A and B are shown apart, each in its own frame.
Chain A
């Protein structure tokens, strides 16, 4: 028991990199949007994002927390991309896109959850070589621009179980985080000293979200969530700052118990990312509103939400918000996963493997995403 508690705290308090999947489509704008769900949701193509208590999309799901529970998600991305004249492969990064602590307020029907999730990931390390003219003479240079960090979403949510069929919830979000930027230029001539500039970009903003979960019966459930964000303020170390409008988000979903051992879940989400366009003028970045549709099928070995080693399959289509051209990038995800309780059902481990395909604006990105999540309930 103590070991489990320690493990949970270790995960929750880990200072490791918090972030989500990385992508060539995350270099522009504020980065690559993070996923709202946990590992189960990833395995189900995001279809369960409104029905998964680990997910930070629907505050109503917080109502399902009774005892103190901690959890974390670790995800490793393996990817490659191709653009006109540029190929990159063997890219790999590991992030911890979600950590949370949830529980109930005694015997009341209220529950809480505090979570830190990735809102947008913007880590990249780009190298370019070029020849510039200095004093009429060609000079070979090698540039490297590095960004490491992203926008994190710190959420405090309250959920209320109105009845066995209805739960509602609300949350306050604080957007934070930072990105460390480094720009370097080295010269193919020792007369020139290498150039390096570092800066730290800090993010801040506030959001509110609300959600509802309605279970009509044991075979049908509906979920809805909405979120309103303030502008995201980015501030450099010299205190110069800029603002980018963040989207309104609306999501709706369907939970269908096909059989006692088979569930089908779908979540549809719309985000008004185009609000950022006005703040991105002059950057050569286009911002689009996006639709995301994800569906997943879960087949468990026994009745209920999981049991041991359920089979989870998912497919997801998502439009991506930022592009260097008028072409809107898109993403397809195909996923599989499973999970199992252990330690007397006090802990659950979930695993998901996702194949992603991203295309648009002349770029093509392919890769795998391996996610592992732990949920630990220290006391039962």
Chain B
């Protein structure tokens, strides 16, 4: 019996020793005495001259295909007018999903606009709605379309409540506001402006956002001897905006944003002891505006840096990276503060793929949705050239 107990004890100890293979050696370091040789260093430096062959190209996104439009007026340095061409109405309207009825009477129109943003500090903001001849060239510029924004063309005024920054606003327009509607091809084209003595803006969704403006015609239709009231809806077939010309940029400026949108390309040439041998834990692209950021007062926008898949000029393809790798920087109109764009994840991607071309393209996150334009110094603009601020860890080497 005693022997059995001894065997059991021995076996238990043995089994316990073999089976207790759990390892738990994580402990607070008692540094420097009882820590490995060496320490993780962190070097933070601003590098000038590591960005090269920077250049800007324009014409990427036209306001006519942007996801929003900006209406800016009230004496602002730059003004813009919104344009909407609704799809033509017909002499009939839908009674139900399959049946059409002849329109025998038209009462009025209802215009719905989806507000995306507005001047935050302006009260009593109103959007003035103008009648535009549908046959006018939609590609016209601010000056050629200016006659359609006279007082005589006003068909409605849409008030934007002071507490509304993102919402849908509506207004009713009398049917006789469009005297040539019946005689023409039943198409409605509208212009939007902001008037008054205070510079102000409003941003609106466009058809490209899938939540653009809507024009509802209230009609009486006849079908089978009955007269029925119906609503006849039309979406825009074209919308966008035109703006006054911005001042000419200073020589040596790089352009980002504006209409049509501009993009800037920057080649990054980090020293090999940083790029190839160190771990970059943070990388910030520093852009110095060479003049106050242009645009609607109090407006903001986002600038993003993306990596190119290949670099062969203006039409270089942007590398498709997960959104999580992109960090945008918010910039306010009127500022001259240095714009800081986080490109840490892009640089980390470059470190992991040494053969990848190391060129950045800088653009607005939402291009051609406003008149805003960022003008920053190029490598030829001494004192305002773009810089790279990197924080990196040199090779640890584990004390060897």
Contacts and interface: CB of A to CB of B under 8 A. Distances in A.
Interface of A: 16, 22, 24, 27-28, 74-76, 81, 83-88, 90-94, 123-128, 132, 134-135, 139, 141, 143, 145, 147, 181, 183, 185, 187, 191-197, 199, 201, 234, 236, 240, 242, 283-285, 308-309, 324-325, 338-340, 342, 349, 351, 353, 361-363, 370-372
Nearest to B391: A134
B37 A284 contact: yes
Give me the 6 closest cross-chain CB pairs, A-B, nearest first. Answer: A126-B29, A88-B27, A83-B30, A372-B17, A86-B30, A324-B33
Contact of A93 (B24, B44, B344): B24
Contact of A192 (B3, B34, B40, B281): B281
B29 A197 contact: no
A338 B393 contact: no
A363 B32 CA distance: 12
Given A27-B34, A145-B36, A128 B6 contact: no
Nearest to B24: A92
Contact of B37 (A22, A74, A285, A325): A285
Interface stretch (B7-15, B71-79, B127-135): B7-15
Contact of B17 (A74, A135, A145, A183): A74
B110 interface: no
B34 A24 contact: yes
Contact of A351 (B14, B44, B342): B14
A195 B342 contact: no
A48 to B, nearest CB: 19
Nearest to A25: B34
Given A126-B35, A181-B398, A197-B396, A372 B18 contact: yes
B37 A363 contact: no
Given A27-B36, A91-B27, A128-B31, A340 B398 contact: no
B26 A309 contact: no
B25 A125 contact: yes
A359 B6 CA distance: 35
Contact of B279 (A197, A199, A234, A342): A197
A183 B396 CA distance: 8
Interface of B: 3, 6-7, 10-11, 13-14, 16-18, 20-37, 39-40, 42, 44, 279-282, 342, 344-345, 348, 389, 391, 393, 395-400
A24 B30 contact: yes
A87 B34 CA distance: 12
25 contacts: A75-B17, A76-B21, A86-B28, A86-B29, A88-B27, A92-B24, A94-B22, A125-B25, A126-B27, A126-B35, A126-B36, A127-B26, A127-B29, A128-B31, A141-B42, A145-B35, A193-B344, A242-B400, A324-B32, A338-B10, A349-B10, A349-B11, A363-B30, A370-B16, A370-B20
Tell me what chain A mostly uses at the interface: helix, strand, loop, or mixed. strand
Contact of A74 (B6, B18, B28, B35): B18
Given A93-B23, A145-B36, A234 B400 contact: yes
B391 to A, nearest CB: 6
Contacts of A28: 34, 37
Contacts of B22: 92, 94
Contact of B40 (A27, A81, A185): A185
Contacts of B32: 284, 324
A196 B279 contact: yes
Contacts of A338: 10
Contact of A91 (B24, B29, B30, B342): B24
Contacts of B28: 86-88, 126-128
Contacts of A16: 21
Nearest to A342: B7
Contacts of A86: 28-30
Given A193-B282, A324-B34, A340 B6 contact: yes
Contacts of B395: 197
B252 to A, nearest CB: 28
Contacts of A143: 29, 39-40
A191 B341 CA distance: 11
Given A91-B24, A143-B40, A191 B396 contact: no
Contact of B10 (A125, A141, A351): A351
Nearest to B35: A126
A15 B27 CA distance: 26
Contacts of B44: 134-135
A192 B389 CA distance: 12
B270 to A, nearest CB: 15
Nearest to A77: B25
A262 B315 CA distance: 91
A126 B99 CA distance: 78
Contacts of A324: 32-34
B33 A371 contact: no
A273 to B, nearest CB: 17
